[in-house]
Structure 1
């Protein structure tokens, strides 16, 4: 007869959030989805880690193990959602591609929680040197990638010349867009067309 102590013990199922330092894709997706839903439903000012824990079915230790602070988490939410709503056109027409991309970006900022979230993040990190440096050196260059790809295709096609002027053009269009973002002045999409036309004309003439 086998004693109870010899019987195999049932294995306790591990929760999605109990996998240690390695991120679970399912848990990551659940947390980012929950954060995005809270932002859309309640807005940035009502976003709290407690609300996120309840919505995602996760825990604060897990969240802070994977994202060192709220800013890092919300930057990931922003970039994940941008993949769906920000257009990355490739029509072969430099001016048109720039306009389509920037119009989709402004529209997304204006009609969703993305604009408010990014404005609030920018404001909050002004007195956090390390976070601000990370934002400037890592997040911002990633947000410029589509513009740079559009310009790179135009260089490859012989439409414009490569060089410092292209970097300046990226900075001009990014700066123009972010100025309108932080001042919540995103209604006049025709402004994009005028700015792009000026930049492209300058690149071609150079």
Structure 2
């Protein structure tokens, strides 16, 4: 690496230098791919990225925070907009299950959830991620409200939590091969309820 390139990657304080951040995230992906979750460490990432551990910890306060950024960087899950809430949610869950099944992201996310049970920094990072995910999934419900498809007083983020609960349960119990009919039934229960009319 040239001196000019090395200088360009140096830290610029608390604000992330985009080139340095990209190098660190790339190194983190490579370490994760080669060593797996159990072999992943900030030390290994720092060595590979030629970055100081203090720089990494300044931008990512924990291993879990860095892994969640790697997870989000790899995540390619469409949030459909079919103008029908049930179809949007079914499409989202099918895409998510497929992504978790076909990439290493599912096992990484499962490991993060497990670590969050005994590590406060991992739990905080996961809670931050879940807040953002809840808002993003909730947008499908907000669009349905705007169309008059669901009641105006429906809590979009609570619906998002119900959908996430279904997804996380299937991830944690290795049931990502669920057929579309089952996903569709679960979504119907969430959207239409289960009480007799």
Taking structure 1 as the reference length, the TM-score comes to: 0.81
Aligned equivalent of 1:21: 14
Computing the radius of gyration from Cα coordinates, the structure with the larger value is 1
Deviation at 1:71, TM superposition (A): 0.8
1:29-68 counterparts in 2 under 5 A?
A: 29-68=22-61
Taking structure 2 as the reference length, the TM-score comes to: 0.84
Q: Relative to structure 1, is the Cα distance of residues 189 and 26 closer, same or farther in structure 2, using a 3 angstrom cutoff?
A: farther
Q: Relative to structure 1, is the Cα distance of residues 161 and 58 closer, same or farther in structure 2, using a 3 angstrom cutoff?
A: same
Deviation at 1:55, TM superposition (A): 2.8
Aligned residue pairs total: 191
Which moved further from structure 2: 194-203 or 68-77?
194-203
- Equivalent in 183, 192, 196 of residue 192 of structure 1: 183
- Equivalent in 152, 168, 172 of residue 162 of structure 1: 152
1:172-201 superposed Cα distances (whole Å, 9 cap, x missing partner): 211111111112221114232221122222
Paired residue secondary structure (2:80): coil
Cα RMSD, aligned residues only: 2.5
Paired residue secondary structure (1:87): coil
Deviant stretches of 4+, over 6 Å? none
Paired residue secondary structure (1:44): coil
Contact 2:77 2:96 in 1 (8 A): yes
Contact 1:43 1:113 in 2 (8 A): no
- Equivalent in 87, 102, 105 of residue 96 of structure 1: 87
1:137-148 counterparts in 2 under 5 A?
A: 138-148=128-138
Contact 2:138 2:159 in 1 (8 A): no
Paired residue secondary structure (1:45): coil
Contact 1:95 1:196 in 2 (8 A): yes
In structure 2, stretches of 5+ residues that fail to align are none
Q: Relative to structure 1, is the Cα distance of residues 28 and 147 closer, same or farther in structure 2, using a 3 angstrom cutoff?
A: same
| 2:139 is aligned with 1:149 | yes
In structure 1, stretches of 5+ residues that fail to align are 1-10
Q: Relative to structure 1, is the Cα distance of residues 142 and 18 closer, same or farther in structure 2, using a 3 angstrom cutoff?
A: closer
Contact 2:86 2:187 in 1 (8 A): yes
Aligned equivalent of 1:176: 166
Deviation at 1:111, TM superposition (A): 1.5
